[in-house]
Amino acid sequence: MKQVLLKAGKDRRLKAGHLWIYQGEIGTIDIELKSGDLVEIGDQRGRFLGLGYYNQASQIAIRLLTNEREEINRAFFKRRLEKALAYRKRVKPSAISYRLIYGEADLLPGLVVDCFGDYLVVQILTMGMEVNRELIFELLVELFAPAGIVERSDLAVRRLEGLEERAGCVYGECPETVSINDNGIDFQVNLLLGQKTGYFLDQSANRARLVDYVAGRRVLDCFCHVGSFALHAAKYGAASVLGVDISKEAVEMATNNAILNQLAERCRFEEANAFDFLREQVVRKEKYDVVILDPPAFTKSKQAIEGAIRGYKEINLRGLKLLSSGGILVTCSCSHHLHREVFEEIVSVAASDAKKRVRLLERRTQGLDHPILMGMSETEYLKCCIYEIL
């Protein structure tokens, strides 16, 4: 097997549990090594560290698969998939919609699989998974017998791997919309054209926490997508819920989901830019009892972090201004480049500027079906904080 040796000291992160090796950390490399090749990784002295897939096109040169000397073959991938399923059955035993494979956290770097009842949605994001694409689909069919598999490898991150974007039905029948259930609430979601894999499963447990905060209250849900937080609020007894999203298609689906759950009388949706909407609501001196802010990631890189901080500061400042004493702010960030301490400082500064005194009630993160791999902070990305206005 072709071999890569790391520079002196560059093995520390790997030994601490991380799975990535950057181009600049490589000391010596086999001159015949090609993108997609499986390589043996060694430290500066040639001592074995593990096996992984190499990609010359990416800044992340190697993604580690295992620290053991073992065959990387069909049986290897089958074991990893079976282990991932066993974990989900343990942590989400009654769920029919959940994240089945979460990339690095399941020791399958670059592979994401979401299960929506009888359907699977797959994202192949790295060269190492791309070269095993057909095998992965074959094993998913064998192990899970889905009615259909949708591939949503249409993310820009694939370009960083030297891969083209790709999406479509790859197995069975793939209807444009399917029915799922989240915490007892029914949703119609678009697996072929919706954002990411069609529905954000990582917030499921956080949506369920609304049960303690919304009964009899007026709720505003910004960046509402297909109405997931909004419908949970209505289901848990909110007096009224207004959801806002910039996507016409998302608003239409959210409206239909409210009708589907017989919640349309207390839950309505508007197509609007959430930044502009919040600004207008503050000018009009509107008041809500609960404000939910669950925006898309404002930054995909460290270079854009300053702009992201301004964005989070603005929406939290305006959201806080819409709340009176006793009001609840549920605010989230899915930008893994924005660390939790920074995010909470943003909210603290926004509260000061809004002349509000706030109490932190809950710190939350992604659901257990999106596990966090210790030693690899990139697997922990979701911040969800619940505050009370004093």
pLDDT along the chain (390 residues), means of 10: 95 96 95 94 96 96 97 98 97 94 97 96 96 98 97 93 95 92 93 84 97 98 96 98 96 96 97 97 97 87 81 96 97 91 96 97 97 95 97
Q: Which domains does the chain have, with CATH numbers?
A: 3-66 (2.30.130.10), 74-174 (3.30.750.80), 188-389 (3.40.50.150)
> What local confidence, expressed as pLDDT, does residue 301 receive?
67
Q: Are 42 and 3 in contact (CB under 8 A)?
A: yes
Position 300 scores a pLDDT of 65
The answer to whether the Cα torsion of 229, 84, 96, 183 is positive or negative is negative
- Measured on CA atoms in the order 137, 143, 147, 150, is the torsion positive or negative? negative
256/179 Cα distance (integer angstroms): 12
State how beta strands 60-66 and 26-29 pair.
Answer: unpaired
- Which tokens go with 227? 């109405």
Q: Which of 115, 332, 334, 385 is catalytic?
A: 334
pTM to 2 decimal places: 0.94
Q: Specify whether the CB–CB gap between 374 and 314 falls below 8 A.
A: no
Q: Is 334 one of the catalytic residues?
A: yes
pLDDT score recorded for residue 195: 77
Tokens 């917030």 map to which residue? 203
Q: What is the pLDDT of residue 298?
A: 79
Q: Which of 21, 102, 3 minimizes the C-alpha distance to 366? A: 102
